[in-house]
Structure 1
């Protein structure tokens, strides 16, 4: 049987640079493929377009389910495209096979951006592990940058370790909060607040506006207790309404101010460089994990030693050393 032809990397790269949406979709599908020959072609593609990447501003947005991420991103993105930007929205959702995720389950929730010629909405693949999802999202981000999108919004579902993964791939990290009743601070996860560059209390419209302002005051007080992640930036706390399109211009103004401040201090470029090295190390780790899964002999040996470790007949350190030896480490 004749094997299907491998993708023409040069043609894909040219189509991506030209902003051809059909080619962009094919390039991303190639990146998401788990076939070894496709992965090799994808690496060649990423190397080819590398000079055309890095010019977009990368914004991460998180928040618990129900906080209004999709509505806010849809309206914010529409505002940005109306101002002349090209916006790509990507999702990092490690639980997509169970929850559907806001973009994965219902892309129509972003009704404006889904039909906007200057926007592109793309869910992350269901790779089964957060690391795999995050890696593909990072590479998709680079392809979108090469295609001319100057704002990349990366959304996380707001559970588990996905926030940290997204914070590690963006320039500014925005956390959306609810104006919920009761003690606002009980809902704060300290680690998420420490990751936040900007906090926005959403759904601050109508009767909820007063509660939103009260919640924002409590978040500001909480931030005073925490040491800022950077000496040149203190996270602002805003009230917004994605539904009513209120406060979003001010929110984007804070995003732009963060970029200006960190660029002036040198932290913007420093963070980008650190992210590149971090991504490389993660991908090396991923290749080792793939070897564990794809090599039948190693896979069988790993299963055997896992059973022995669980039974208490083999020390974990001994088992790890034996598997490492099989990997040539």
Structure 2
């Protein structure tokens, strides 16, 4: 990877070369220090060519049909003249640190399209089901000319606030349940959704899907909208039957138009950049902290003392932070 020059990465991405696009995202995702430094140089060159896409986050319970919905929507968008990039985030095992990365298999038809790019990435154990470098990957795809970025998240019931902080529109996907319409999704996720889509509204599920839509619309009426000037609504769709997909995309386009007119779109983008800054600072400080030899030397004994109840966790943390500051 290091043999490829920064200029080659930049030129390849700007030319829309999908092979170089994939290699650039691999560079961005690498944890190696030499790759990190080159990735930042590449991103600096690409930055003037970013920011023009519509970024949509799609989350939901496992089995809600996120991949099928995204493929169906992606194919429609490509046929309508859009260039679509899908950043599909797979869960990373906390034990093996490995991930399935099977989204290309699940979106086989979409991957065949010349104007589509599907990229599975492991979450890296990050809360919120979002790959650690998803923000950078979005920028790279935008620079390559993709005007619609679809981010599929794990949807394991974890906090999805991270997703909301990097997309323009946040879509929560659910399926008709047997009485329990929340299906393990926390109320907080519903509160930050810009729309709810009841998927798999086909066959015997149609009646239940409509009932769920009515119930959610009633609940959404009493919730404070995630963004001023937009009232989230619940919709039904069937990705398999290609029903309701056009309606949800129309809602997303309507959202973009209204938020752009009010200035909320630009304000949200700026706030997201500021939040990204603080996220990177926290990440780098954490890495620096645990990499410091004096901290590594003191940590095992303090961890033992905490586990044995001999030292409050707060006291141990403050001691470690003092050790870190003293040896900076």
Give me the TM-score of the superposition, normalised by structure 2. 0.92
Aligned-pair CA distance for 1:26: 1.1
SS at match of 1:159: coil
Unaligned runs of 5+ in 2: none
| 1:196-275 aligned within 5 A | 196-275=193-272
1:40 aligns with 2:37: yes
Aligned-pair CA distance for 1:321: 2.6
Q: Distance in 2 between matches of 1:131 and 1:218?
A: 26
Contact 1:88 / 1:149 at 8 angstroms: preserved in 2? yes
Q: Distance in 1 between matches of 2:2 and 2:179?
A: 60
Aligned-pair CA distance for 1:160: 3.9
Match of 2:141 in 1: 144
Aligned-pair CA distance for 1:183: 4.0
Match of 2:117 in 1: 120
Q: What per-residue deviation string (whole Å, max 9, x for no partner) do you get for residues 59-95 of structure 1?
A: 0001111111111000000000000001111123444
1:30 aligns with 2:27: yes
Q: Distance in 2 between matches of 1:278 and 1:233?
A: 22
Q: Distance in 2 between matches of 1:287 and 1:142?
A: 20
Match of 1:12 in 2: 9
Aligned-pair CA distance for 1:96: 5.3
| 1:1-329 aligned within 5 A | 5=2, 7-95=4-92, 104-130=101-127, 134-161=131-158, 163-185=160-182, 187-328=184-325
Aligned-pair CA distance for 1:9: 0.9
Q: Answer with 56-65 or 202-211: which moved more.
A: 202-211
RMSD of aligned alpha carbons: 2.4
Give me the TM-score of the superposition, normalised by structure 1. 0.92
Q: Distance in 1 between matches of 2:92 and 2:188?
A: 20
Contact 1:135 / 1:283 at 8 angstroms: preserved in 2? no
Give the number of aligned pairs.
Answer: 326
C-alpha distance 324-237 of structure 1, shift in aligned 2 (>3 A): same
Which structure shows the higher helix fraction?
1
Aligned-pair CA distance for 1:212: 0.9
Aligned-pair CA distance for 1:303: 2.5
Q: Distance in 2 between matches of 1:302 and 1:94?
A: 29
Contact 1:90 / 1:137 at 8 angstroms: preserved in 2? yes
Aligned-pair CA distance for 1:228: 1.9
SS at match of 1:135: coil
Q: Distance in 2 between matches of 1:129 and 1:274?
A: 21
C-alpha distance 84-144 of structure 1, shift in aligned 2 (>3 A): same
Contact 1:93 / 1:162 at 8 angstroms: preserved in 2? no
Unaligned runs of 5+ in 1: none
Q: Distance in 2 between matches of 1:136 and 1:129?
A: 10
Q: Distance in 1 between matches of 2:249 and 2:202?
A: 18
